[in-house]
Structure 1
């Protein structure tokens, strides 16, 4: 599905959030790889589960056509610096919910990009009959957890010893959800 483009100005930086389009595929493939290497907050290490340009082209096409999915990008001066996806489910028992995921280049942390991608996704979900948005977050990512709570998400569970990070230690994943009546 698509949304109308929105503009934001945060800490002196102007950026837009818009739906992903076909020509974004090459840049998305590159920045996803970069983002995966910049943080351990995500599920993948750099290079794992790589999506090439064609893969992103197919993802963008299917997300645009599917009313249960939303693929957004954030761009500063026409340069994509972050993205998010909401992926719904076509099974009737789960058709009321979508799972949210986000990635932002480290140089652009602190500008509310992740927050605004999520807020736009929540607005889209609420206006399209999606009652529940879910997400997973690493237990040590307190900044994200606090943001999610401010936006109405509640902790629904903890996946114990779910991830092993570069320090060799096991970490929990926090499962969170936001239900809209």
Structure 2
């Protein structure tokens, strides 16, 4: 599915949120690899679960064609600063909901990019008559949890000792969701 591009400006910094296009595939592969090395908030360590240009091209093509999928990019300074995806299920019993995921390059943190990707995704889901958006977030990512709570997400559960980080300790994953009103 696609959305109409929108421009945002925060403290003199301007970026665009738009639907991912196939020509973004190479940049997305590079950006995802970089983000995975910048933070432990992601499920992967840098290089794990690598998706190359061909892989991203395939994901973008599918997400464009399938009604309960959405792939957004945030473009700033002529490059991709972050991206988000909503992925729904083809199964009828699960087709009312989507799973949301987001990541932003560290140099672009603090400009509301993740928050705006989330808001654009919520608006899209609402327009598509999707009833529920769910996500998972590492318990230590308190800024993201606060953004999700402010957007109306609630904690549905906690996966205890779900991830082991570089310090050797185990951390919980918080499962959150937002029910949409229709």
Same fold, TM exceeding 0.5? yes
Alignment correspondent of 1:73:
73
Q: Alignment partner of 2:4: what SS? A: coil
Q: Which moved further from structure 2: 54-63 or 76-85?
A: 76-85
CA distance in 1, matches of 2:115, 2:11: 14
Cα drift, residue 104 of structure 1: 0.3
Alignment correspondent of 1:169:
169
Alignment correspondent of 1:33:
33
Cα drift, residue 78 of structure 1: 2.3
Alignment correspondent of 2:83:
83
- 1:16-55 alignment to 2 at 5 Å? 16-55=16-55
Alignment correspondent of 2:159:
159
Q: Alignment partner of 2:148: what SS? A: helix
TM-score, structure 2 normalization: 0.99
Cα drift, residue 11 of structure 1: 2.0
Alignment correspondent of 1:149:
149
Q: Alignment partner of 2:35: what SS? A: helix
Q: Alignment partner of 1:49: what SS? A: coil
Alignment correspondent of 2:115:
115
CA distance in 2, matches of 1:111, 1:17: 13
Alignment correspondent of 2:10:
10
CA distance in 1, matches of 2:107, 2:16: 16
Q: Alignment partner of 1:81: what SS? A: strand
CA distance in 2, matches of 1:21, 1:163: 32
- 1:95-134 alignment to 2 at 5 Å? 95-134=95-134
TM-score, structure 1 normalization: 0.99
Q: Alignment partner of 1:163: what SS? A: strand
Aligned length: 181
Cα drift, residue 18 of structure 1: 0.1
CA distance in 1, matches of 2:22, 2:137: 29
- CA RMSD, aligned part only? 0.5
Unaligned 5+ segments in structure 1 are: none
> Structure 1: which 4+ aligned runs deviate by more than 2 Å?
none
